[in-house]
Structure 1
Amino acid sequence: MTIRMIALDIDDTLLTSTHQILPSTKSAVQDAVARGIKVVLCTGRPLAGVQPFLDQLELAGDDQYVITYNGAVIESLTGRVVAKHLLDNAAYREITALGQKLHLPTNVLDEHSTIYTADRDVDWWIVEQAAENQAGLKIRNPDDLPTDFAIAKGAYVGEQTLLDQAEPAVRQALGERFYVVRAGRNFLEVMDPQVNKGQALRDLAQVLDLSLAEVMAVGDEGNDIAMFDVAGLPVAMGNGSAEAKAHAKVIAGTNDEGGLGEVIRQYALQ
């Protein structure tokens, strides 16, 4: 099987546990690009939060792509939007109201990398989320924003035990009408029902005239399963969740052991 596109999750996949890109990972990615393989970062982050890693990997140009907001936006590295699926103002209000009802730290992201929260006492996880993604952070009630205000995703954040307890109630309230996914231990996200990393891979593969059998997808968490289910070669990191590993054909080494670089060389470059 020839690999022509590699979709990479960022946190705990591309990055080590100390948020670094290993030299062996960078080398493998650059060798793949030199062979004409598309390397697509596929993440819950907005483009501003992805740009530092694109720069480190020396990925650039209008013919290279990134999947952001867990699939809500597909764009070229020059910012040309290929596809997007946003949530309207009514959905934004519903997500915010449910967070207040369940006493969950809640924020939403617009398509321009700005985070909004109605929480006057802003939770540490929201501040950290804004800092990591180089995103603006604004405290606003839904009534403060225009009626056509749209968002790429909503997020409930906090300690793992808090989200573990709240997740069933969120899924019961929103799961039939939205895509609800646990993007990590500390993030429970809500998006348009058409949105997930797998559908975004389908859309991008069609744009690039690639077969999904030629796609290798690497990740570690529940939000990566959708792309595992469509990619010809789904790879879970050794540090990934049991749920993610159950949907993979290959288990790589951990993110701290250089597992990503090794699996790229073994399956895409040999």
Structure 2
Amino acid sequence: MKLIAIDMDGTLVNNNTTINEENVQAIKQAQEVGIHVVVATGRAYNEAVNPIREAGLNLPIIAINGAQFRSTEGEIKNSITLSKETYYRVDELLDHYSMYYELYTNKGTYSNDPQMAIDIIVDIIKSANPEVTEEHAHRLAEYRVNNGSIHSVDEYHSIVEDPEVEIYKLLSFSRNEKNRSNALNDFLTFNDLAVSRSAEANIEITHRDAQKGIAVKNYADELGIPMSEVMAIGDNYNDVSMFELAGYSVAMGNAEEDIKKLCSFTTKTNDESGVAHAIQTFMRKNKVIQS
């Protein structure tokens, strides 16, 4: 095991969206023995980096489901965008199914409905941490929306029409299961899209090459590490592309049963420092540390 790729929500961060000290120490221990560690998240970089730095960790970040890769210093090393033409097709389809979405770009993340922005984060938090109360999830969501991570706008087209704007992801949301299912089926007919989800009621839409698994493989190739020596840790469907390519696939204890069935190992929950448990278990298995 020479590279570890770790999801954030429901995986690296706990129910308060901070990183447990046990996880911090396990990651540092892995780094000390020469194992590379990268975070792979659906979050935009600016929202992902703060809890990582606050925990005292220095890690490269695969952001926006693989649409962007940043070095430990925050330098953009690679980005994969959706064409404006594709954006307008997706926008039209989401409008047809009355689905809200947020727009992830190189200029930031935008919402045309702040209350829906809170609802979508509550959905992500509750899906990753089912035991969290609705009230607590709302408090966490309101903080994430109000801390400047998401910019409120009246409409998206004026942003998209800016020639300097690059589109990374559309994060759509609807509690109408029929509309969500129909939209998902329609998106699967787009040859240039990757479609996944990170919570019960959302759909994440990126370029087909902007997937966590592809980004992790590109980073492993850069380091000269075969995928058989890579461990991927996650909890949801936007982690599946990593699980399919990694030699070691680890599901969090709080993951859905379908995710656990895809993986070779299930660790403890995110609130129980499941990342640390997985890292230490496999380091012992590889005789990197003593049992």
Tell me the TM-score normalized by structure 2. Answer: 0.82
In structure 1, what is the equivalent of residue 110 of structure 2? 115
In structure 2, what is the equivalent of residue 71 of structure 1? 66
In structure 2, what is the equivalent of residue 90 of structure 1? 85
In structure 1, what is the equivalent of residue 168 of structure 2? 152
In structure 2, what is the equivalent of residue 45 of structure 1? 43
Q: What is the CA–CA distance in structure 1 between the aligned matches of 2:31 and 2:187, rounded to whole Å? A: 40
For residue 126 of structure 1, report the CA deviation from its aligned partner: 5.5
For residue 153 of structure 1, report the CA deviation from its aligned partner: 0.4
Distance 1:120 1:221, change over 3 A: closer
Larger displacement relative to structure 2 (131-140 or 173-182)? 131-140
In structure 2, what is the equivalent of residue 195 of structure 1? 210
Distance 1:244 1:133, change over 3 A: farther
Q: Does structure 2 retain, via aligned residues, the 8 Å contact 1:48–1:133?
A: no
Larger displacement relative to structure 2 (195-204 or 31-40)? 31-40
Unaligned runs of 5+ in 2: 122-140
Q: What is the CA–CA distance in structure 2 between the aligned matches of 1:132 and 1:37, rounded to whole Å? A: 34
> What does 1:119-138 align with in structure 2 at a 5 Å threshold?
123-125=117-119, 128=141, 130-131=145-146, 134-138=149-153
Counterpart residue identity of residue 183, structure 2: V
In structure 2, what is the equivalent of residue 21 of structure 1? 19
Q: Does structure 2 retain, via aligned residues, the 8 Å contact 1:47–1:113?
A: no
> Which of 164, 180, 183 is the equivalent residue of 1:170?
183
For residue 124 of structure 1, report the CA deviation from its aligned partner: 3.3
For residue 134 of structure 1, report the CA deviation from its aligned partner: 2.2
- Compute the RMSD of aligned alpha carbons: 2.2
Tell me the TM-score normalized by structure 1. Answer: 0.88
Cα deviations across residues 59-82 of structure 1 (Å, max 9, x unaligned)?
A: 33xxx4210000111121223222
Unaligned runs of 5+ in 1: none
Q: What is the CA–CA distance in structure 1 between the aligned matches of 2:153 and 2:162, rounded to whole Å? A: 17
Q: Does structure 2 retain, via aligned residues, the 8 Å contact 1:221–1:243?
A: no
For residue 247 of structure 1, report the CA deviation from its aligned partner: 1.3
Q: Does 1:218 align with 2:236?
A: no
In structure 2, what is the equivalent of residue 6 of structure 1? 4
Q: Does structure 1 retain, via aligned residues, the 8 Å contact 2:114–2:145?
A: no
Distance 1:137 1:37, change over 3 A: farther
For residue 246 of structure 1, report the CA deviation from its aligned partner: 1.6
Counterpart residue identity of residue 174, structure 1: F
Normalized per residue, the structure richer in helix is: 2
For residue 205 of structure 1, report the CA deviation from its aligned partner: 0.7
Larger displacement relative to structure 2 (259-268 or 224-233)? 259-268
